[in-house]
Structure 1
Amino acid sequence: MPTLRQRIQAQTEDAKLPHIDYFCATLSPYVYLAGTRLEAVAAKYGATVTYKPLDVVALFGRTGGTPPAERHPSRNEYRAQELLRQSKKVGLTFNLKPAFWPTNGAPAAYAIIAAQSAGGGDVGALVHRICACVWAEEKDIADDAVIRECLSETGFDPDLADKGLMAGAETYANNLEEAVTRGVFGTPFYITDTDQRFWGQDRIEDLDAHLAGNL
């Protein structure tokens, strides 16, 4: 049994562990391309992660961004090229024109919120699994059966798809307000407990370097 001094030392060490707030969107191709690399970085440094799903299109409107459908063709052409390049770079199958995009991403977001609250599974894997359904598997994440499948495959009770919907909707809305307040303007967006902000799946290496004390 650890001594009092050892317990205090352990508590002190735990208190120093970093934390990351992860603002994500179930329909974002860039959240999909992030894979589970954030979770690997967090595990490397013993960091905890809080997942904060939100409506990224609403976020664009609140922070000066433009949804893809409203962007100039030249921007969308570049986006298409870049998505395919990045998917090859990270080794993920990617469908540039998925059958079920856009769709209603809110129910899947509610499931992520419920799963994080319930525990017992892998939230990071759940986020990635849901995004993979959109961008690689031609599945509609607004479909209850798809959401239940994602929950089950990542270690959660599939019935979470039907539980806490009101609480999920409230948290989902609150996440958007928090994002606007904290300077988030896109997804994926990572904020450390020292308010260092990293936007994009291509900044996970920078987050890693920051947690290592090198950036």
Structure 2
Amino acid sequence: MRHAVDYYFAPNSPWTYLGHARFARMAEEAGASVRVLPMDLGKIFPISGGLPLPKRAPQRQAYRLLELQRFGEALGLPLVVQPRFFPVAADLAARLIVATDMDHGTAAAMRLTGAVGAAVWTQERDIANVDTLSAVLTECGLDAALLARAQTPEAQAQYEQNTQAAIDAGVFGAPSYVVDGELFWGQDRLDFVARRLLA
């Protein structure tokens, strides 16, 4: 059976970065189809009980840093737990991934998603900056003209549609994977995603 996965994420999320390459590999190995769906957590948190990072209790913020360090080490992934440009607005990066998916398809959008995550969490680059995103596109072998496409009403409408679809699916955090209608939240649930894809 060929499974379908709706992949909901925020491109600036460290957890998205930590899970992205593993998810991409397992989806490919399982022959699953993937819908790349960057979403606006700023609209999802208020209706799902979540809080943006600066508003979380100090204990939660401190533990988050510890968990990021643990997961980075356990997964063997480079990670700056407190990068220079975080928190940072991710809407333009999200729309750029949307535009890439529209014009070049899933594989290109997945490649760009990984590169944007690495830009924040290993390279300490500002993904809210147009020049940074232009450079990341070039590094991915994509045309910098996609930045203009990312700022069209069509890209914005698709971004909003992704966010509403996430809300409708019960998503409340990033990354989330919906496999044939079943929700899995967090990169630490990828073992369960893998089992579901092989079922």
CA distance in 2, matches of 1:50, 1:155: 21
**Residue 25 in structure 1 maps to residue 15 in structure 2:** no
- Out of 157, 163, 169, which is 1:170 matched to? 157
Shift of 1:152: 2.4
CA distance in 1, matches of 2:117, 2:53: 17
- Out of 61, 67, 76, which is 1:82 matched to? 67
- The number of residues matched between the two structures is 197
TM-score normalised by structure 1 residue count = 0.86
- Identical columns (%): 34
* 2:103 match: 118
CA distance in 1, matches of 2:95, 2:168: 21
- Out of 41, 56, 59, which is 2:41 matched to? 56
Higher relative contact order by CA 8 Å / sep ≥ 6: 1 or 2? 2
Shift of 1:97: 1.6
CA distance in 2, matches of 1:135, 1:164: 22
**Residue 186 in structure 1 maps to residue 173 in structure 2:** yes
* 1:4 match: none
Contact 1:20 1:49 in 2 (8 A): yes
CA distance in 1, matches of 2:119, 2:132: 8
Unpaired runs of 5+ residues, structure 2, are none
CA distance in 2, matches of 1:174, 1:60: 16
Q: Deviations over 1:1-20 (max 9, x none)?
A: xxxxxxxxxxxxxxx42110
Matched to 1:204, the amino acid is L
Shift of 1:96: 1.8
Matched to 2:149, the amino acid is K
- Out of 92, 106, 122, which is 1:136 matched to? 122
Unpaired runs of 5+ residues, structure 1, are 1-15
Contact 1:123 1:154 in 2 (8 A): no
Match of 1:158, SS state, is coil
CA distance in 2, matches of 1:91, 1:125: 19
* 1:198 match: 184
Q: Deviations over 1:106-133 (max 9, x none)?
A: 1111110011111165322211110111
CA distance in 2, matches of 1:73, 1:91: 27
Contact 2:9 2:38 in 1 (8 A): yes
RMSD: 1.4
Provide runs of 4+ in structure 1 moved above 6 Å. none
Q: Which has the larger Rg?
A: 1
Matched to 1:41, the amino acid is M
Shift of 1:43: 1.0
CA distance in 2, matches of 1:138, 1:206: 31
Shift of 1:164: 4.5
